[in-house]
Amino acid sequence: MNRIDKLFKDKKKDILSIYFTAGFPELEDTLPIMRALEKAGADIIELGVPYSDPIADGPTIQDSNTLALQNGMSLNKLFEQLAKMREDISLPVIAMGYLNPVVQYGIEKFCKKCQEVGVDGLIIPDLPMKQYISEYKDVFDAYGLRNTFLISPQTSEDRIREIDKHSDGFIYMVSSASITGAKSGISQEQITYFERIQKMGLSNPRLIGFGISDNETFSTAAKYAHGAIIGSAFINLLKKAKKEGELSGVITSYIKKVKGE
């Protein structure tokens, strides 16, 4: 069974997904960070594939992308690093990246590699639903990859229903009209939006991301969905941890704090 499906079958709330950019802060940090996340009690690993022009991301994730590329990260390198991932990592792993590097690598080859190393799903923010259905869905399905779409406060109800129909895995709820890392705290307006979506009775589970950084924002968001996603705040933590030279300990105490343990 796909690990994403299994997770949402077994766990209905407080799911914590952590994003970080592969090859950041240093090229060979990818696997150690994944191991630390598993040990610390995260539920999903969202692995960012760095890109030169990440238009949905704020400065924090942009910089981590730039640095990872400077470090020498590429899809070839990433698949090399992930080759033995499943020896000691059992969490669902989602690759998040922009469309162009995937297209250049070759869609089919990319999906096949993902399956080989044990990636469970994909988030490609600039792959539109229409194109996905007509050109990509069959390939993703053939290699057992779940595809996640984003919705935002501006997404119309009809469009959300359509997205729900074509999603498998989960729906990524962007918490506000923003790029990543742009806002902090959760406003009443956002809660109204969370409630509106909650009441729609969608068939896919939902995770809320963008603007989630600590226990307070995580637990608030988790009340209105199956869990939440942390990205920029975790990237900032990695930057700090690297200076202190102790990745695993810093990650563990952060994850525990976010989960209120």
Partner 1 sequence: MIAVDENGFYGKFGGAYIPEMLYPNIEELRENYLEITTSADFQEEFRSLLKDYVGRPTPLFFAGRLSEKYGAKIYLKREDLCHTGAHKVNNTVGQIILAKKLGKKRIIAETGAGQHGVATATVCALMGMDCTVYMGEVDMARQKPNVERMRILGAKVVPATSGSKTLKDATNEAMRQWINNPVDTHYIIGSVVGPHPYPEMVARFQSVISEEMKLQLLEKEGRENPDLVIACVGGGSNAAGAFYHYYNQPEVRLIAVEAAGLGISSGKSAATTLLGKPGILHGSRTLLMQTEDGQVVEPHSISAGLDYPGIGPVHAHLFDSGRGEFVAVEDEAAMQAGIMLSRLEGIIPAIESAHAFSALDQIKFNKEDVIVINLSGRGDKDLETYIKWGNY
Which candidate in 10, 46, 116, 214 is catalytic?
46
Q: Please, are residues 102 and 119 in contact by the beta-carbon 8 Å criterion?
A: no
Our finding on whether 127 is near partner 1 (CB under 8 A) is: yes
- Give the range of 66-74, 86-94, 219-227, 232-240 binding partner 1 by CB under 8 A: 66-74
- Give the range of 80-88, 93-101, 186-194, 218-226 binding partner 1 by CB under 8 A: 93-101
Is 38 among the catalytic positions? Answer: no
Q: Which amino acid is at 204?
A: N
Our finding on whether 27 is near partner 1 (CB under 8 A) is: no
Q: How far is the CB of 52 from partner 1 (least distance, A)?
A: 4
- Give the range of 52-60, 201-209, 211-219, 236-244 binding partner 1 by CB under 8 A: 52-60
Which candidate in 5, 57, 120, 141 is catalytic?
57
Q: Please, are residues 20 and 238 in contact by the beta-carbon 8 Å criterion?
A: yes
Nearer to partner 1 among residue 126 and residue 214 (C-beta): 126
For residue 244, what are the CA distances in angstroms to 12, 192, 253, 257, 258? Answer: 36, 40, 14, 18, 20
Is 88 among the catalytic positions? Answer: no
Among 150, 168, 198, 236, binds partner 1 (CB under 8 A): 150
Among 2, 155, 219, 236, binds partner 1 (CB under 8 A): 155
d(CA 5, CA 129): 21
Our finding on whether 103 is near partner 1 (CB under 8 A) is: yes
Our finding on whether 224 is near partner 1 (CB under 8 A) is: no
Alpha carbon 176 to its chain's center: 17
d(CA 19, CA 11): 19
Our finding on whether 76 is near partner 1 (CB under 8 A) is: yes
Nearer to partner 1 among residue 99 and residue 117 (C-beta): 99
185: which 2 tokens?
Answer: 């705290």
**Helix (H) / strand (E) containing 172:** strand 171-174
195: which 2 tokens?
Answer: 């409630």
Our finding on whether 187 is near partner 1 (CB under 8 A) is: no
- Give the range of 63-71, 79-87, 198-206, 213-221 binding partner 1 by CB under 8 A: 63-71
Q: How far is the CB of 213 from partner 1 (least distance, A)?
A: 18
Among 26, 126, 162, 168, binds partner 1 (CB under 8 A): 126
d(CA 258, CA 255): 5
Tokens 């899809």 sit on residue: 75
90: which 2 tokens?
Answer: 């059992």
Contacts of 41 (CB under 8 A, 6+ apart): 16, 255, 256, 259, 261
If we measure between CA atoms, which residue out of 78, 10, 83, 81 comes closest to residue 44?
A: 10
Interacting residue ranges for partner 1, rule: CB under 8 A: 51-59, 62-63, 66, 69, 74-76, 98-105, 125-128, 130-131, 149-152, 154-156, 159, 163, 174, 177-179, 182
Residues acting as catalytic residues: 46, 57
